[in-house]
Amino acid sequence: MSMLKKIDPALSWLIGGRRQTASQLLLLPASAWLACFMLAPIALLFVVSFAQRGDYGAISWTFTLKNYARSIDPRYFPVLMRSALYASTTTAVCLALGYPLAYFISFYVDKHKNLLLLLLMLPLWTSCTVEIYAWIIILGREGLINSLLTQIGLIDEPLRLLNRPFAVLIGLIHTYFPFMVLPLYSSLEKLPKAYIEASKDLGGGPWATLWRVTFPLTLPGVFAGCMLTFIPCMGDFLMAEFLGGPSTYLVGNLIQNQFLTAQDWPFGSSLSVLLIAVMMAGLYLQQTLEKKHASW
């Protein structure tokens, strides 16, 4: 204990925060970690995306834009478009299903709000392999739906439910749904309830209030939810790998393939950089939207 007393001034200097050096020093572990294991990998992908593929999958360091040109090659461009289509469909369905749920939790639930939110987040923390496995059991050729339908005599031949776009979309919607609802919920919570009452006092019916007051005011949340759904969806490769087939090959599968099978890391890197660019554009838009809203 006396040891602690001796170094007390030093520790107090660190904790007290009167000196910039102390603050930066305390943040150093976290920031150094993120710099090494988050920023450095992304920066490396950026650099490698301009390099060339050498022999036997090695990287030859000559500057080229070929990797980016390849992404609009007719062989790969449809994959990018398909990913965008799947991600937008997932986002739209999640928004349509999620807004009413977020609205209900925010306006109609009093006591168990936190529990309901936690139950919503729990599937986020379950491993994605388990979730995919569940869908294989349910949709598979000898899965739950098919065996039920065969048993009650509705079908003779098992339906092909897996390995088609429908199955991939179901999986994506199920996985990314919570990402949509949480930001929607928090923007609905922030909404001053007086605005809604004012609208009703001024003769706005429930629908008019929802469409002309509540929804416009929660647009930042809507946008944040869409971003949080769309971006991870764009990078997903597991759903397409297990629930889809060749017709559902997505950009995530393409990236995985470049790194693990085709050994074309520069091309894989350029695809990753494209995804990061989409993310940055989205974040920028979100910030602009939030600023605009704040000035209302």
Quote the least distance from Cβ 295 to other proteins, whole Å.
18
Of these, 84, 92, 134, 210, which contacts other proteins (CB under 8 A)? 134
Closest CA to 90 of 24, 158, 169: 169
Q: Does 56 bind other proteins (CB under 8 A)?
A: no
DSSP annotation string for 221-282: HHHHHHHHHHHHHHH--HHHHHT--GGG--HHHHHHHHHHTS--HHHHHHHHHHHHHHHHHH
Of these, 144, 155, 198, 277, which contacts other proteins (CB under 8 A)? 144
Q: 81 φ, ψ to 5°?
A: -65, -40
Exposed, middle or buried: residue 165 (CB in 10 Å: 0-12, 13-18, 19+)?
A: middle
Report in angstroms the alpha-carbon separations of 28 from 21, 22, 31, 35, 36. Answer: 10, 10, 5, 10, 12
Q: Which of residues 60-119 bind other proteins (CB under 8 A)?
A: 97, 100-101, 103-105, 108, 114-116, 118-119
Interface pattern 30-49 for other proteins (x via CB under 8 A): xx-xx-xxx-xxx-xx--x-
Of these, 183, 220, 225, 235, which contacts other proteins (CB under 8 A)? 235
Task: Please state the length of the chain.
Answer: 296
Size of the site for other proteins (CB under 8 A): 92
Quote the least distance from Cβ 216 to other proteins, whole Å.
21
Q: Which of residues 190-219 bind other proteins (CB under 8 A)?
A: 206
Q: 52 φ, ψ to 5°?
A: -115, 160
Quote the least distance from Cβ 27 to other proteins, whole Å.
5
Q: Do 167 and 245 form a contact (C-beta atoms < 8 A)?
A: no
Report d(CA 162, CA 158) in Å as an integer: 11
Residue with Cβ nearer other proteins (283 or 285): 283
Q: Which of residues 9-28 bind other proteins (CB under 8 A)?
A: 9, 11-17, 20, 22-24, 26-27
Quote the least distance from Cβ 265 to other proteins, whole Å.
6
Quote the least distance from Cβ 64 to other proteins, whole Å.
17
| Residue 219, CB-side half-sphere exposure with 13 Å CA sphere | 16
- Residue in the structure block whose two tokens are 């991939």: 168
| Residue 158, CB-side half-sphere exposure with 13 Å CA sphere | 14
Q: Which of residues 247-286 bind other proteins (CB under 8 A)?
A: 252, 255-256, 259-260, 265, 268-269, 272, 275-276, 279, 283
Report d(CA 40, CA 32) in Å as an integer: 10
Quote the least distance from Cβ 89 to other proteins, whole Å.
17
Q: Does 151 bind other proteins (CB under 8 A)?
A: yes
Of these, 80, 95, 161, 238, which contacts other proteins (CB under 8 A)? 238
What's the Rg (C-alpha) of the chain?
A: 25
Quote the least distance from Cβ 130 to other proteins, whole Å.
4
- The one segment of 71-79, 124-132, 192-200, 213-221 that binds other proteins by CB under 8 A: 124-132
The structure tokens listed for 164 are 């088609």
| Residue 283, CB-side half-sphere exposure with 13 Å CA sphere | 7
Of these, 1, 3, 72, 130, which contacts other proteins (CB under 8 A)? 130
Q: Does 29 bind other proteins (CB under 8 A)?
A: yes
Residue with Cβ nearer other proteins (198 or 280): 280
